[in-house]
Homo-oligomer: A and B are copies of this chain.
């Protein structure tokens, strides 16, 4: 991929018109770029703040060619982009980032964990599972409890089933539809951390301070960042993020979810080759947030600074929690980020708020 910087006035394409695409688009506009969104739903959250939206399926060959032709660079707000779509975009002449290797790695949990361990970023023990017999053997090897996940798709806790006793094996496999799967040993972690990092095509890397995350029902509820962590833990997270970025020859921002064990060991839970919900705190904690950082990497600009100037508690507003807006709008230490979604379906990410807790 070329490393020369694209000048302001160039056009950035984004596959996906949800809240991540919306915040990427807003960051790109601030830097003087025009933005085109591709999303099957007309009037998407990102489309409504961008110069143009192409309304088409993510695998529509003509729409992809049109997006590639009308843009100088194209990126994604989600990782489950069909490989054929990436090839078509790249064939149309636009820079495409992150690249096919990052996407294919993140799309398959067995490939991902194999890559991570090879790159020196340790994970829990795992086994590939195609049949109930595989699963029984894996349970023998890894012990219980263990977590069964589909190899592909699935997010926010979907496509997963815990196995707590040998009797759970068949129901768990049925629960995930008997699809190609991965069995993961349970991680005996004391907390969940994440690190947001970026890499340019020339190899320059920038890493944000750690965030500490809490989930409920498989969905992120809060991130507090910078997390309280020893210098050793921070250095190790930096090392892990760098190993992953270099191993994927990555361009853009990546989210790396970590488990911290009682002895301080960091294991990688999963990676997301895109801007990440646990990095939203950077919007109000850093001079250059993860969205601007991703745009900078994709268009070949120098990466921005990652130091925090404020400590932030980020909270997701799900479904009808958006009705809390009057109280949040009145809180002087709270910054609102609403996604412009008309329908507040249960569990749907409608907004997040960043509460300024004090100086970093």
Give A residues with C-beta under 8 Å from B. 5, 7-9, 22, 25-26, 29-34, 43, 48-51, 284, 287-288, 296, 301-302, 304-305, 309-310, 322, 325-326, 329-330, 332-333, 335-340, 342, 351, 356
> Are A9 and B340 closer than 8 Å at their CB atoms?
yes
A-B contact pairs, 26 of them (CB 8 A): A8-B322, A8-B340, A22-B29, A25-B49, A26-B26, A26-B49, A29-B48, A29-B49, A29-B340, A30-B337, A31-B338, A32-B325, A32-B338, A32-B339, A32-B351, A33-B340, A34-B340, A43-B51, A48-B50, A49-B50, A288-B335, A296-B329, A302-B330, A304-B332, A305-B332, A309-B310
> Are A32 and B340 closer than 8 Å at their CB atoms?
yes
> Are A325 and B8 closer than 8 Å at their CB atoms?
yes
> Are A7 and B325 closer than 8 Å at their CB atoms?
yes
Cα distance A356–B333 when bound, in Å? 21
Cα distance A302–B301 when bound, in Å? 38
Cα distance A309–B358 when bound, in Å? 10
Interface contacts beyond A284-B287, A305-B332: sample of 17 additional A-B pairs, CB < 8 Å, sorted by A: A5-B326, A5-B329, A7-B325, A8-B325, A8-B340, A8-B351, A9-B340, A9-B342, A22-B29, A26-B29, A26-B49, A30-B338, A32-B339, A49-B51, A287-B332, A287-B333, A302-B330
In the complex, residue of chain B having the shortest beta-carbon distance to the beta carbon of A304: B332
Cα distance A25–B22 when bound, in Å? 13
A288 CB contacts on chain B under 8 angstroms: 335
Instruction: Report the minimal beta-carbon distance from A133 to chain B, rounded to whole angstroms.
Output: 51
